[in-house]
Amino acid sequence: MAEKYHALFRGPLTVFMALIGLTSGVAQLAGIPTRTGQWVLTAVFLASLLYFVVRVWQLGFVVRIRELRAELLEATKSLALQQAGHQHYLDAIQRISEREKPLFSETLDVLVTVGSDDDSDRIVEKRVTTPEPLVTHRTMRPIVLTDTDRLARLDEISFKALRPVGGTITALPLEQTRLLRIWLIFDPAMTTPTEWQVEYRPRGLWGPLRERGWDQLVWEDRLPTASGTPSAFTRFVVTFSFPESDQPPSVKERSGYGRMAEPRRDARGRWEVVWRDEKPAGRRYVWDLTQAVGG
């Protein structure tokens, strides 16, 4: 380090001393009066000093930029290694969760709110989980837009996991792609039937429905349990809530699974359509939704 800065100062210092010496020699050879020579030497000294300071600052700035670039490159490499290691952990957790069969049964009630604009789209999933015999963690995929390449993150959908009684839920992202996947850790572990819920705001989820008047929602019930039943669900209910409109909306499950109630207005004037399946069996549900454009 000392040698580097010695080399840095040596050039400007040599120029500075040479200018002073040259000016002094010229003044003596030319026979310039003493007082005038003093002024000339002073002016040259100040100009040389200014040059020396500016030049040293400039060279020092260049050296510092090179140092910062080297530090940034090193930090980038270190961060890449850390991210790679972190991703290995996430991949391992995901593989483990995919191989495990649920050691629980549960009821699921989903409230799907079709907002009047992108910001008011909302999903609430309420569950009552019965452990068989213990549940410490699980994974889930929230309902988000899948027809875009934009990544989905927990903070973007305002994801919240709530356990009203007897503990907390920590939510960690496992996969932040078009199909967001979340790891939920229960503290303490569930040992008795437990009520809990998640809620989130997938902004713009129902934008196509508002724009063209029709859209669809797909739900994969692929949770075969350790006991051999095709689904961990013992009851599955979805309530679709639509904005107030003169024309009632419609919802239809494409394969005819479950039972659909007629649209009705709630206390706020919004339309509600309730669908339920009292005997889930590991199915793929597809609901077709229609509403009046601008409704």
Predicted local distance difference test score (pLDDT) of residue 214 = 96
Task: For residue 29, give the 3-state DSSP assignment.
Answer: helix
Report, as an integer, the average pLDDT of 245-271.
95
pLDDT category at 66 given cuts 50, 70, 90 is: confident
| Amino acid at site 204 | G
Q: What sign for the dihedral angle of Cα 89, 105, 165, 136? A: negative
Whole-angstrom distance, CA of residue 45 vs CA of residue 23: 9
Residue 13 has pLDDT above 60, yes or no: no
Instruction: Say how far apart CA 281 and CA 233 lie, in whole Å.
Output: 8
Between 44 and 70, the more confident residue is 70
Question: Is omega for the bond preceding 208 within 30 degrees of 0, making it cis?
Answer: no
DSSP symbols for 116-137: SSGGG-EEEEEEEEEESS-EEE
In the predicted model, is pLDDT for residue 38 greater than 70? Answer: no
Q: Under 8 Å CB-to-CB from 214, ≥6 apart: which residues?
A: 288, 289, 290
Mean pLDDT of the region 27-38:
56
Instruction: Decide if pLDDT at 187 tops 60.
Output: yes
Residues 155 and 202: beta-carbon distance below 8 Å: no
Per-residue pLDDT at 32 exceeds 70? no
Q: Alpha-carbon distance 128 to 254, whole Å?
A: 27
| Residue of 276, 267, 280 lying closest to 230 (CA atoms) | 280
So what's the pLDDT on residue 1?
55
* DSSP H or E run through 98: helix 34-99
Judging by DSSP bridges, how do beta strands 233-242 and 168-175 pair with one another?
Answer: unpaired
The per-residue pLDDT for 215 is 96
* pLDDT interval class at 146 (50, 70, 90): confident
Pick the range with the lowest mean pLDDT from 18-22, 177-181, 210-214, 224-228: 18-22
Give residue for tokens 């593989």: 95
On the question of pLDDT at 201 being above 70, the answer is yes
In DSSP notation, 146-174 reads -SS-----TGGGT-EEE-SSS-EEEEEEE
Answer with the residue of higher pLDDT: 70 or 263. 263
Q: What is the pLDDT of residue 222?
A: 73
Q: 100-114, pLDDT tens digit by residue?
A: 667 889 999 999 999
Give helix 34-99 / helix 2-30 axis angle, nearest 10°. 160
> Which three-class secondary structure state does DSSP give residue 231?
coil
Q: What are the beta bridge partners of residue 197? A: 126, 162
% of the chain beyond a pLDDT of 90: 47
Q: pLDDT band for position 209 (50/70/90)?
A: very high
Picking from 34-38, 178-182, 215-219, which range would have the lowest pLDDT averaged per residue? 34-38
Nearest-angstrom CA–CA distance, 46 and 42: 6
pLDDT of residue 124: 98
